[in-house]
Chains A and B, each alone.
Chain A
Amino acid sequence: GAGVSQSPRYKVAKRGQDVALRCDPISGHVSLFWYQQALGQGPEFLTYFQNEAQLDKSGLPSDRFFAERPEGSVSTLKIQRTQQEDSAVYLCASSLAGLHNEQFFGPGTRLTVL
């Protein structure tokens, strides 16, 4: 079956531009996570959805970052007024609900802010 997909795979933005990154999770997966991976570091948690409810957004670095999952499936991560420090790979993961469930990752969107 299809895995987690993300689009675009690569995005170059000028500083100050708004961007929107899309995640299509595995069908039926209740949980959806966004992570940010800066160069040379491991992925860091940004936000978590259970169905359409955003239950944890403690990892969002500033109020320029906004995520939504209005129908409990596709999610969009929006970054307003991008800054150079936003350059990173943005990973989306989905899983079934529950403690033991593995998170399945998409290939990520590499964002470069010039």
Chain B
Amino acid sequence: ILNVEQSPQSLHVQEGDSTNFTCSFPSSNFYALHWYRWETAKSPEALFVMTLNGDEKKKGRISATLNTKEGYSYLYIKGSQPEDSATYLCAFPRMDSSYKLIFGSGTRLLVRP
């Protein structure tokens, strides 16, 4: 059974704090890991697609790392801003004909000004 778990479930931080959250996934038959940011009333927005063990990707103040051998990925936000408030989702594509995504339940981040 494919299971993607995210922690923490929610996080409240002050503006300027740096933060990180975790995505755990099955390490066998790994293909890729997707990170999405989903702001309320908007479309989920792709942040990163990570494929290689040891990958580290960066987009502005947000970065992510990948460890496929132990089955986890970390997402880091440096100097959080109120506009970073969103739900952060990770997802694992099923390796069948559709490549449908199996999502974690997300980490809800609230950045207080």
A40, B105: Cβ atoms closer than 8 Å: yes
B46, A107: Cβ atoms closer than 8 Å: no
With A and B bound together, what is the CA distance between A4 and B36 in angstroms? 16
Chain B residues touching A, range: 20 to 34
Q: Does B41 contact A (CB under 8 A)?
A: yes
Q: Does A44 contact B (CB under 8 A)?
A: yes
Q: With contacts A56-B97, A100-B49, A102-B49 known, is A44 near B103, CB below 8 A?
A: yes
Chain A residues touching B, range: 20 to 34
Residues of B within 8 A of A40 (CB): 105
Give per-residue flags for B24-50: 1 if the beta carbon is below 8 A from chain A beta carbons, else 0: 000000011010100001111110010
A102, B34: Cβ atoms closer than 8 Å: yes
Q: Considering only CB atoms, which chain A residue lies closest to B89 in the complex?
A: A42
Smallest distance from the beta carbon of B12 to chain A beta carbons, Å?
Answer: 17
With A and B bound together, what is the CA distance between A35 and B34 in angstroms? 16
Residues of A within 8 A of B6 (CB): 42
Additional A-B contacts beyond A103-B46, A105-B43 (7; CB < 8 A): A40-B105, A42-B6, A42-B91, A55-B97, A56-B96, A91-B44, A103-B34
